[in-house]
Structure 1
Amino acid sequence: MSFLFQDVPFLDRFSHAANAGFKGVEYLFPYDWPADTLKEELDRLQLTQVLFNLSPGDWSAGDRGLAALPARQSEYQASVEQAYRYASALNCQKLHVMSGLRDTTLSQSQQLDYFQQSLEKAISFAPSQTLTFLIEPINNHDIPGYLLNDFDLGLRLVKELDTPRIRLQFDMYHCQRIHGDVSRRLAEALPYVQHIQIANTPGRTDPDIGELNYPYLFDMLDREGYVGWVGCEYKPIQRFDAQPFRWMSPYLE
C-alpha cells in the first residue's frame, strides 16, 4: 500500500485494497500511526497484515536501514523492539530487515559480518517463534549504495545463518534489475523464500507491462509448490477506475 492507491490518504487504502479483492496488505512502515488504529482497519475489513519493514533510520536524511551499520546498533535494537510491538499488535508474522548502505570505512566482508550478527540479535530481541525476519536484495538503481545488492549473496547469508526464523524476501523486479535470469534464481532460492514481491522492469510498473513474463513465472510458482504471499510492489500505470488489476484475474480462485 506504499505503492498502490497513492491518490488517497494512507488509512483509506485499506478499504481500497479490500474492495479490489486483496486479502492481505503490506507497506513499508507503520510507525506514523498507532497500532490500534491500523488493527481496527484490518479487523473491520478482514485483512491480514502480511509484512512491514523495521524502521530504516531517518529516511529523509538518506538512511536505508540500520542493521549493517556498527555505529547505529543501539538504534537498530530499538527498531527491532518497536517493530516487534507493532507485529504483535497486528498479528504480523514477517518483518523485513533493511541492511543499510555500504560503509566504506569497512571492508564489505566486515560489514556483512555485522549484518549477520544483527540478524542473529533480532531473534533474541523479538523472541516469538512465529515471527520471521526477511532480508531482501535491492538493486543499486533504486537504492544506490545499498549493501545487500546481490541475490546470490542474500541466499548465502540465509544458508549460513541456518535458522528458519531468517529467510529471503524475493522481489522479482530487483532480481531482474540486478541479474536477469529470474526463473533460475527463483527456483534455487525458493526453499529459503517466505515472501515474494512483483513489479515489471524497467519502470517498476504493472506486471503485464514490461520485460518479465509473469504468466510464466506464476505458473512456475505453482509448479514449485510455493504457497506464500505475493506482494504487488509496483507503480501502476493503469488508472484505478479502469480495471487496473485485470492482469490478476486468471490467478484468483
Structure 2
Amino acid sequence: MPRFAANLSMLYPELPFLDRFAAAARDGFEGVEYLFPYEHAPEVIAERLQAAGLQQVLFNAPPGDWNGGERGLACLPGREDEFRAGIAQALRYAQVLRCPRVHVMAGLLPSGRTRDELRPTYVANLRWAAAEAARAGVNLLLEPINLRDMPGFFLNRQDHAHDLVAAIGAANVQVQMDLYHCQIVEGDLAAKIRQYLPTGRVGHFQIAGVPQRHEPDLGELNYPFLFGVIDDVAQACGWQGWIGCEYRPARGATAGGTSDGLDWLRRWRAAAA
C-alpha cells in the first residue's frame, strides 16, 4: 500500500510552519516533506518530528535566490561554489532530520542558453553532489517540472531525467516523479509508472489534482487507479517509497480546510484496509 507524506509547504496553510507537523500527525500522516527547512534550525524541526511521531522523507536543497525568482543552481555555469555550499547545508539538515532524500532543483535556463549547452555543468555538479551525499547516506532526486508552472526550467520530461541519471552514473541519484507535472507535460501516466518504477531509478512520487493543483480527487486524473498501478508495480519490484501530497487545498487557508479535504485519502485507506 502506498505511503503518503504531507507536504507542509502547501498543506495546513492556516497554521505556522512548525505547527503543521502536529496537524499532519492528527490526520494520520506518518511522513512529511516540504520545500525548504532553512528558516529554522534543524534541531527545532527534529523536535517537532519526534513529538509528532513523523518521519522526514524529503526536502529541497537551497535553490539560490528563491524570492528573487531563482529555481535552483545545478545547471548554472559560474555558480558552482554557491551550489556546493547549498549541498553542504542540505546534507547537514538531512543528518539532523534523518532524512534519506534531498531534491536538487535544476534551475532556469539563462537567456540565450540551451539545455545542451548547460548539460555539462549540470552533470558535473550532480556528480560532485552525489559523492558528497553518498558519504552521508543520502539519495539525491531530480524532478522534471512543467513549463506552465515554471517557465524556462531546465528539466521537464521523464525521459530527460532518466537520461541524466544515467549520465551522472551514481547509484544514489534518482528521479522524483511528480504525477501533476508529468500529466501536464506528457500524460500517459500509468504506462510511465510501469516503465520507470521497476528500473529502481524512481525515488519518490508526488501528486496533485490537474489542472488546478488542488486535492487529487479534483480534476482530470483518476488517482485511485494510479495508486493501484503504483501499488501493483511496487509489490512486483520491491519499491517501498513515499507519495508526497504536494497540492494546494481547495479550501485555502480556512481553518481545518486541509483536513476537510482529505476524504480522498480516507476513502483510499478504507478501500485498502
TM-score scaled by length of structure 2? 0.89
- Give the direction of change, closer, same or farther, for the CA distance of 1:218–1:127 in structure 2 (3 Å limit): closer
Q: Which runs of 5+ in 1 are unaligned?
A: none
Correspondence for 1:109: 116
Correspondence for 1:196: 205
Deviations 1:8-60 (A, max 9, x none): 10000011111011001000000000011000001111100100000001111
Correspondence for 1:218: 227
Measure, in 2, the Cα distance between the counterparts of 1:180 and 1:23: 29
Mean Cα deviation higher: 199-208 or 157-166: 157-166
Cα offset, 1:202, TM superposition: 0.5
Is 1:150 the counterpart of 2:163? The answer is no
Measure, in 2, the Cα distance between the counterparts of 1:43 and 1:119: 31
Contact kept? 2:61, 2:87, Cα under 8 Å: yes
Q: Which amino acid aligns with 2:97?
A: L
Cα offset, 1:126, TM superposition: 3.1
Contact kept? 2:179, 2:206, Cα under 8 Å: yes
- Give the direction of change, closer, same or farther, for the CA distance of 1:232–1:118 in structure 2 (3 Å limit): same
Deviations 1:167-211 (A, max 9, x none): 000000000111111111222121210100000110011010001
Give the alignment partner of residue 21 of structure 1, picking from 22, 28, 42. Answer: 28
Q: Which runs of 5+ in 2 are unaligned?
A: 1-7
Deviations 1:117-163 (A, max 9, x none): 11101023334362100000000111111011122101111123232
Count how many residue pairs are aligned between Structure 1 and Structure 2.
253
Correspondence for 1:80: 87
SS at match of 1:31: coil
SS at match of 1:126: helix
- Give the direction of change, closer, same or farther, for the CA distance of 1:133–1:49 in structure 2 (3 Å limit): same
Task: Extract structure 1 runs of 4+ deviating beyond 4 A.
Answer: none
Report the aligned-residue RMSD: 1.4
Contact kept? 1:103, 1:111, Cα under 8 Å: no
Share of identical aligned residues, percent? 42
Is 1:165 the counterpart of 2:164? The answer is no
Give the alignment partner of residue 235 of structure 1, picking from 248, 266, 271. Answer: 248
Q: Which has the higher contact order (CA 8 A, sep 6+)?
A: 2
Correspondence for 1:206: 215
TM-score scaled by length of structure 1? 0.96
Contact kept? 1:77, 1:125, Cα under 8 Å: no
